[in-house]
Structure 1
Amino acid sequence: MLSARSLFQEIVDDDSAYQLFCSIAASGEAQGGWENGRIAALVPESMRALAPRIARHGADEDKHGRIFNALLAKRGLEPLPVPPETDYTMLLERHGIGLAHEKLRRDEPLTEEDIVVYLSHSRVTEQRAADQMDMLVRYFGDHPEVGRAIRMISRDEDNHLAYCHEELLGLAAAGHGRTIHRVLRDSALAEIKVYRDVSLAVTAHMGRLLHWSPPKSAALAAGVRGVYAYERFGGWHRMIGLAMPERRGALDGPPVPAPAV
């Protein structure tokens, strides 16, 4: 029987598949760390109060990248180059999600609208991250090799999502509501396409590494397309709603150190 639990167990049990999985995750987290670090450095003067939280977000993402690399090192594995078709963050940028790297490399202050767009994009992508980590915690939170790391990353992703909700609600009250609504909608519809394409690419790579039969690979690809159909029909709405989180100030203070893995 195909299930998320059994599929991830296959990946964890196979060094080559595990190496690719951790390499993709580490690369994406490191990229997110760089992006948030640059945004924190370029926040406009009128929004400088946000800079420490954006920097904390970036520090968390950097930490997650180090955690995945540490999981590789624990098995004596090296990070692999990430196949371009599986590079979620790069493909998001190509679809206009996130601030352009060309802009972030300049030493010019961002605008208030840039920060509104950044937070709106983050609200969408952090929903995906939080959902995925919730699933992994449910199935592998007690796993002796990866459980501790998964639990920490999941807590961080929940904090990132809470921070996006809180900051966007404040910006909406300050008059940015129309921009936020537009960017959230456009970002969600683009993200679900990128997630589908990346999921299909990762499934194909894992199928080759794990020697899946053609029927199994076809069934998993059909499942990915089914998720996309559900999200395109209406599931994407979960990625754009805003509600004040129970935990306020989720990114205030220094980041929590990475656990030993």
Structure 2
Amino acid sequence: MLSARSLFQEILDDDESFRLFCSIAASGESQGGWENARIAALVPDGERGLAPKITRHGADEDKHGRIFQALLRKRGLTPVPVPPDTDYTMILERHGIGLAHDRLRDRQPLTVEDIVTYLAHSRVTEQRASEQMNLLRRHFADHPDVGRAVRMISGDEDNHLAYCHEELLRFAAAGHGPAIRRTLRACALAEIRVYRDVSLAVMTHMGRILGWPRGRSVLLAAAIHAVYAYERAAGWRRMVSLRMPERRDALGGPATTAPEFA
């Protein structure tokens, strides 16, 4: 029976598919770490109180990248180049979602509007990350090789999502509500398209590595398109709602370490 658990188990059991999975994940997390570090350095004077939280966010992302690299080393594997069509972070940037890397390389401080854009983009992408890691935690929390990594990263992603909700609500109360709603909707609709395209690309690469028959590849592609159809019709709305999280000040302290992976 084809299921999320059986699919990931198959990827996990094969060295080459596991190399690709961890390489893609490590690259995306490391990129997120760099972006957050640059945003923290450029926070405008009136919002300097956010800088430690953004720094913590970036430190968590860097840690996740190191965890995926450590999982590879544990199996005696080395990273592989990330295929461009699977590079979720860079494809989002090319679609104009979030803050452009050219802007982040500049030394000019960001504006409050830039920070709102960053938080709205993060709220959408962290929703996806939290859901994916919750799925893996549900099936693999006790796995001897990846269980601890899944539990740690999933907890961090939940914290990131809570932080985005809380900060966006603060900015909405300060009068930025219309801009937040507009940006969230644009980000969500772009993200679901990118997620569909990246998912199709990843499955194509995995299918080639694992030797999937054409029928299985067609079935998986149909499932990915079905998810997109649902998200395009209504599912995207879960990415744009805002509510005060149970976890308040979720990024208010130092980043947790991962000595068992570092």
Tell me, yes or no, if the aligned pair for 1:148 and 1:259 is still in contact at 8 Å: no
Q: RMSD in angstroms over aligned alpha carbons? A: 0.5
1:21 is the counterpart of 2:21: yes
How much has 1:96 moved relative to structure 2? 1.2
Question: 1:238 maps to which residue?
Answer: 238
Consecutive unaligned residues of structure 2, counting only runs of 5 or more, are: none
Counterpart AA for 2:5: R
Query: For 1:26-105, what aligned pairs fall within 5 Å after superposition?
Result: 26-105=26-105
Tell me, yes or no, if the aligned pair for 1:23 and 1:82 is still in contact at 8 Å: yes
How many residues in Structure 1 have an aligned counterpart in Structure 2?
261
| SS, match of residue 129 in structure 2 | helix
1:136 is the counterpart of 2:143: no
Tell me, yes or no, if the aligned pair for 1:149 and 1:259 is still in contact at 8 Å: no
Identity over aligned residues, as a percent?
A: 72
4+ runs deviating over 2 angstroms: none
Alignment deviations for residues 122-159 of structure 1 (CA, whole Å, 9 cap, x no partner): 00000000000000000111100000000000000000
Tell me, yes or no, if the aligned pair for 1:86 and 1:202 is still in contact at 8 Å: yes
Question: 2:116 maps to which residue?
Answer: 116
How much has 1:232 moved relative to structure 2? 0.3
Tell me, yes or no, if the aligned pair for 1:26 and 1:66 is still in contact at 8 Å: yes
1:172 is the counterpart of 2:172: yes
| SS, match of residue 177 in structure 1 | helix
Normalised by the size of structure 1, how large is the TM-score?
0.99
Consecutive unaligned residues of structure 1, counting only runs of 5 or more, are: none
Normalised by the size of structure 2, how large is the TM-score?
0.99
How much has 1:117 moved relative to structure 2? 0.5
Question: 1:126 maps to which residue?
Answer: 126
How much has 1:74 moved relative to structure 2? 0.5
CA distance in structure 1 between the aligned counterparts of 2:3 and 2:260, rounded to whole angstroms: 29
Question: 1:256 maps to which residue?
Answer: 256
How much has 1:259 moved relative to structure 2? 4.4
